[in-house]
Amino acid sequence: MAAHTPTLFASVALVATTMAICLIVAGQLKLRDGLFTTGCGLFAHSFAYVCYTLYGHAPLWLTYGLGNSLLSVALAFYTISIFRIRGLRTPWLFISSLPLLMVVLMVVLIDTREPRMLASSSVLSVQCLLIMIWAYRNAQSGGRAHGLLIVGACISLVGLLMRVVSILAGVAQDMQYDVSNLKQTISVAIGTATVMMFSLGLVLLSKERSESKLHHMALRDALTGMLNRRAILERLSAELERARRAGSSLAIAMIDIDHFKQINDRYGHLAGDEVLCHCVRHLSQRLRTSDSIGRYGGEEFLLLLPDTTAENAMAVVDELRRSMAETPAQFGNLQIPLSFSAGLWCAVPGPADTSDSLIGKADVALYEAKLEGRNTLRLLAAYPGVIDPFLADELKEIG
């Protein structure tokens, strides 16, 4: 059953306009927001279909040339939105070259039917393919938004392919915008689905991006950008279970910057912040990809070394300690010398071992390192259950 084609065009324009207003209002007119560029694309999409509605009642340059140029602009805006939402550098020159090419082709070929139809369908097809490629490449890990964008682009390609087949079959007149038949009805209905899938896909992509940022913020220390206490403890629990199942060795090191309070008192808290960031950069650059380090609290860091023997763990942490002592932090024109003490526990976790108990053991070794003068490393060989009261009193005095 065929529907009245101009009415279908007007319906698509209404849907696109409504969704454009909603997205631009939701984006609060933020020019660098992906929702704003998506809304601009929907407006261009809407105006393109308004032009198609006037086919046969207005000049060809308006109803066909401007209409297809606006549709190309709409696809360009959708593509830009992918990069904006993902926070990536936008290839403006390449993306904008396709709508410009469409304008040139429409000006040159406006008085020909088959060539201009083939040219417009080809440019739009390339843009749909690019949306598919960039949506796939920039997909959020575990997300589904890119699937909607890819399906929307595929559906649009089907509609464009129908036009190309009609042109090559010598029945291009069946796909003119003022003709109402089943093929035209399917083609325009595809346009409606494309508008909805592109807009919903980009909205979902924005939502996934926001959720990813919030998740990242929840697991990262605001100052240093490294794993925060919650995240490193979750990582420790996972590594503990993995080591217990595999019967492999796990090394845990508690690292404490020596005399950090004195650094704050002498140089100021901004200098202290820079010292913490310096330590994070220094330590992170010297660890394996399988290792994990996080800010446990204040100037304390928790280091996890999976599948590492006690001897190798001692060598790794001691090398970190020596290199840190040789690399002062830079704050303005000042060079701030620093060092750290570390307590290490390393073994194959037993059934009774928990994250808290292992951290407690590494803490005991750290306290012993502090008592011996700091800037040193101690490995806890035994498995004490509690800290000796005398040792606890000594620790209160040395901080």
Structural domain containing residue 236: 229-398
* Pair 27, 121 in one domain: yes
Q: Across residues 372-387, what is the average pLDDT? A: 70
* Pair 242, 180 in one domain: no
* Pair 388, 250 in one domain: yes
Count: domains in the chain: 2
* Pair 172, 236 in one domain: no
End-of-domain residue from the set 189, 218, 247:
218
Q: For residues 330 and 298, what is the distance between their CA atoms, to the nearest angstrom?
A: 20
* Pair 198, 65 in one domain: yes
SS3 394: helix
Q: Is residue 249 part of a domain?
A: yes
Whether the pLDDT of residue 393 is over 70: the answer is no
* Pair 203, 346 in one domain: no
Angle at 82 between CA 77 and CA 86, to 5 degrees: 140
Q: Is residue 357 part of a domain?
A: yes
* Pair 308, 347 in one domain: yes
- Is residue 215 within 8 A of residue 265, CB to CB? The reply is no
Whether the pLDDT of residue 398 is over 70: the answer is no
* Pair 26, 82 in one domain: yes
* Pair 206, 249 in one domain: no
Spell out the alpha helix ranges (H) of 138-181. 145-168
Q: Is residue 224 part of a domain?
A: no
* Pair 278, 358 in one domain: yes
Report the b/e string of 89-125 with b at 16+ CB within 10 A: ebeeeebeebbebbbebbeebeeeeeebbbbbbebbb
* Pair 158, 210 in one domain: yes
The pLDDT tens digits for 322-369 are 999 999 999 989 999 999 999 999 999 988 899 999 999 999 999 999
Q: Is residue 124 part of a domain?
A: yes
- Binning pLDDT at 50, 70 and 90, where does residue 272 land? very high
Beta bridge partners of 255: 301, 342
Q: Is residue 23 part of a domain?
A: yes
* Pair 25, 165 in one domain: yes
